[in-house]
Structure 1
């Protein structure tokens, strides 16, 4: 069974990670979340669940307005050949979330198998605080960039901080 929001919050508390969470109407796309940007400070984000030709899985996490060249990002993240989006069934199987609720917090559901390689865009990691769904898209949780790394590592993952977005590449990050 995938972790619940309460289990995620308890895990974060056990790690002594300070967060704040705002409940809201479900949002399924970055475009739908526009008013949240005014109400919740910090970097707002999007998450791309992708796989390569050898079925290796990646979770690319970027700022909400970042662009990624899907024809070239495989060279940056270490994938074998071009990447494509993972389907909803694979997403649920591996990360325990539905489309529209993809979040780095879902790494809590990949602690044993460690099937996903998290990739945190370097420009996103320049932000002091970041915002993600706490496993469902009806709330937003704010966490510091450093605590995001601490969380991912506590889940057994060693996230790659790379210039994956066009913005990070242009900035030379």
Structure 2
């Protein structure tokens, strides 16, 4: 059998899943943003915890998405000890990001879990970020921000077959 992955889900398919789960969320469209610095102007318009997502892998090709508060620092030399990686982590290749999460660099998001149907990625949510009642992330494209309540984000991840790790991964 040919193992061809289906095409990545669209933001509309993400919203449909959230609706099916009975999750309330709001999405605001904006100019595409590729970095935290570019997204700073949205802070006053969109309340809640804003995220930075790191797509990383260990030497055994185990992949992780680290979702942290946008200004938080992650020590890539030591975070492997916290997340259970086999070695120090490095950034995952764009091809794997597209294959597993259905997104390109600049659009990595916790919502990419909807595309990881074979559970190739472990999702790690930083404890500090999870202190926010509302978490914001890109809905599979970087020209919008979706706001979702913390517990609904956990429900979304569980619904995609992912049990997220909530760990202190920032300095």
TM above 0.5, yes or no, is: yes
So what's the TM-score if we normalise by structure 1? 0.94
- Give the CA RMSD over aligned residues: 0.5
Deviation at 1:38, TM superposition (A): 1.2
What is the match of residue 121 of structure 2? Answer: 116
1:1-173 superposed matches below 5 A: 1-111=7-117, 113-166=118-171
Deviation at 1:52, TM superposition (A): 0.2
User: Which has the larger helix fraction?
Assistant: 1
Deviation at 1:23, TM superposition (A): 0.4
Residue by residue, what CA displacement relative to the aligned partner does 1:120-167 show, whole Å, maximum 9, x if unpaired?
00000010001100000000000011101000000000000000111x
CA separation in 2, counterparts of 1:125 and 1:43?
A: 8
Helix, strand or coil at the partner of 2:55: strand
Residue by residue, what CA displacement relative to the aligned partner does 1:39-61 show, whole Å, maximum 9, x if unpaired?
10111110000000100000000
Q: Which runs of 4+ in 1 moved over 2 A?
A: none
Instruction: In structure 2, list runs of 5 or more residues that go unmatched.
Output: 1-6
So what's the TM-score if we normalise by structure 2? 0.96
